Amino acid sequence: MAIQSVGVIGAGQMGNGIAHVFALAGFDVLMTDISREALERAVGVVGKNLDRQVSRDKITAEARDAALRRISTTMQLADLGQCDLVIEAATERETVKHAIFEDLVPHLKPETILASNTSSISITRLASRTDRPGRFMGVHFMNPVPVMQLVELIRGIATDEPTYRALVEVVQRLGKTAASAEDFPAFIVNRILIPMINEAVYTLYEGVGSVKSIDESMKLGANHPMGPLELADFIGLDTCLAIMNVLHDGLADTKYRPCPLLVKYVEAGWLGRKTGRGFYDYSSPEPVPTR
């Protein structure tokens, strides 16, 4: 099917990034959230990010203006019912996603494709709670969405071939690269990345190195653009913990046990950049290690 209208559920960091790239690629975007303030903030963020692309000669001012005109917002989930493709980009909690799909499905037209931006949760399980498991897929964008080139495409056990082909084409229209992953916990990127971060937290927890020495070691010794603890703060420590729990529960292997220090930081509400404190304190102009 030809996909032109796209619904985006969730106006957070991932949701506004997804809206940005779809609108810039010529799709009509309808974004929804339970918070009017979140929707207004998201449109503002998209505008600023588009302005940045104009200032760097990545896009023209005309393309920016056209993209912004293609984005509209609503607080009514049912309004997304006529979209050709709906992408859920809500918080990484399975119960929340199930509730969203339960409320949304009665309003969808029969041919609409449903997708989740989940970074780790079973696509097969999410799809089974809808009326269209054949037209359901995982479409996992990387953060920040306008910058990162990769999109993981994850087929559930019931996903049909036309749905997969349609979303491969969508990713191509976005100017991004699709990587096909099987429906196993955390897929490809996070199956490799998040345990590395968890191991860095264990290295800190066991006193092998400080926050600074761990991050500098991986940046200068392994040529990583960002240290693992700095990256954890950027992703959100709650998200890192949620993915480790999915891996641990889904694969039943002790090597995926979340580090107790990661658990403590999340319990303390030290979730990284979004709360102003994680493995670094962001209250001053220059981030300061907290350990």
What is d(CA 12, CA 87) in angstroms, rounded to the nearest whole number?
13
Separation of alpha carbons 53 and 30, rounded Å: 22
145 phi, psi to nearest 5 deg: -60, -45
Pairing mode, strands 85-88 and 5-9: parallel
Strands 150-155 and 136-141: antiparallel
Say if residues 159 and 286 touch (Cβ distance below 8 Å): no
Q: Give the span between the Cα atoms of 246 and 239, in whole angstroms.
A: 11
Measured distance CA(14)–CA(193) in Å, rounded: 18
Distance CA 83, CA 30 (A): 8
CA distances from 69 to 24, 47, 82, 216, 218 (A): 10, 11, 19, 43, 42
Cα pseudo-dihedral 59, 175, 147, 89, rounded to 10: 120
Question: Which of 118, 75, 76 minimizes the C-alpha distance to 96?
Answer: 118
- How many residues would you count in the chain? 291
Catalytic positions are 119, 140, 152, 190
Q: Report the C-alpha gap between 233 and 280 in whole angstroms.
A: 7
With contact defined as beta carbons under 8 Å apart, do 25 and 174 qualify? yes
